Structure 1
Amino acid sequence: MWWFAKHKKVDIIAAGWLEGMTDIHCHLVPAVDDGSRSLDETRQLIEAMRSVGIQRIITTPHIYRRYPHNDSDTLRQAIERLLPELSDLEMPLTLGAEHMLDEGFETHLAKPLLTLGDSKYLLVETSFVGAPLDLYRLIQSVISAGAIPMLAHPERYLYMDDKEYSRLQGAGCAFQLNLFSLTGMYGERVEKRAQQLLERGLYSFVGTDTHRIERFRKTIASAKTYARYEEPIRTLMSNNQTLMPPHEQCTSRASM
């Protein structure tokens, strides 16, 4: 009986795990990165995200050299153009950004920072191949700029080991889980790494990292993970809500 309870899997969509979620990592600004390709796709994504229980969204377009026109100024202009087109959907949508820690990163620290919601957290990532040689200096530059680095999807950096994760947290990084890493979206190795980090209590926040409507629909059609992770995931979702201004925080089962 103990073994069965530990290894029982559930469909997290059917079980309502996303009910009331504030998603803090997704790519919904159309045609600025590898996320939504059009206004129509953004509308479809928002409707699909609402259908699984998501109630608030911080959208986080990429800022790095692959998209040279993206910075805090141009992305704010883009979201200002976008919001009136989405007003009928009545989905609270706030702009953040996902910053690549590369050689051009520090130039963006001189501009108004696109932190997450009403917080000081700045979402950052590294290459999936390897971290920059000056990773810890870049992390310190975030802190010196008055922000808190939040490392996106650390479970996907398979070049890291336990010692590196601990060192990153010791340097001041918070960790953000990609929820669907736990359901095998990125393969078995990433799934196992996500399980390990979650069981060690290293995550503080959770996002969907939604990009395209086809992938999102496929993912939610079969999103299963171990039932024992429900409580820690609800805790992370509750943490997400603290990033929003008090009058914009939504009520979810995680905070009841």
Structure 2
Amino acid sequence: MDRPLRTVDVARAAGYSVQQVRDLERLGVLPPARREPNGYRTYDTRHVLAARAYRGLATAVGPVVARRTMAALPGAPLADAAAAVDDLHAGLAAERAQTLQALTALDAIRSEAAAPSPGSSLSITELADALGVRTSTLRHWEAEGLLEPQRVGSLGARVYDAPASATARVVAALRAAGYGIPALRAVVSALRGLGGTAEAEAALRERLDRIAVRSVALMKAGADLAAVLDGAGRIPSPVRRRAAGPAMLGT
């Protein structure tokens, strides 16, 4: 791939159509192509690597975040570029942790954990912080019949006991997995009757599998991103460093 590449060459190497390659360049995902005197675009290996990296990122974190990441990396310092990729891995790790917590909560629901012990209830703010959602989201779920908090005090403050908190964790994980409100109502109704825990567990475990696929895609994209950054001269080559050592010692 040392020779100039045509649009069709990049498309074949990255698994895209010719139009998709042009679109990715227009969106800033690919570096600008060189233009020959006759107006034709010419590319090089960097463009193939960037296209492959975007493909993996789009699978891992979605096309919107992937486009934003690819457009920002070329002008970013190496430390910032590495941090941006680390944040993507951290995001997937957080999704995995949330899903595992939901499975733990599901076990508690299945065990029919009775009344909570003193101090185990959460306020709406505490539960929202634990789930990483807004308090308005919990109120919306309550209005949709997904949560049933207790009301205490003269002001009727919302308090979530252990079973309600466990249900909220399941709802949060399934909502993040793409479940709509009608489907969640069915799941929650089954959970309250303790007859539908199998469906919720299957959905959560399916989400874990999808997160695993996305994690592998992100790892593969990381290799291509590192090659792109190396080609931009921002990652010192170990070979160059070793070769420079004796010369520096001899001066």
Bin for the TM-score computed over the shorter chain: under 0.3
TM-score by length of 1: 0.21
Higher strand share: 1
Higher helix share: 2
TM-score by length of 2: 0.21
Larger-gyration structure (1/2): 2
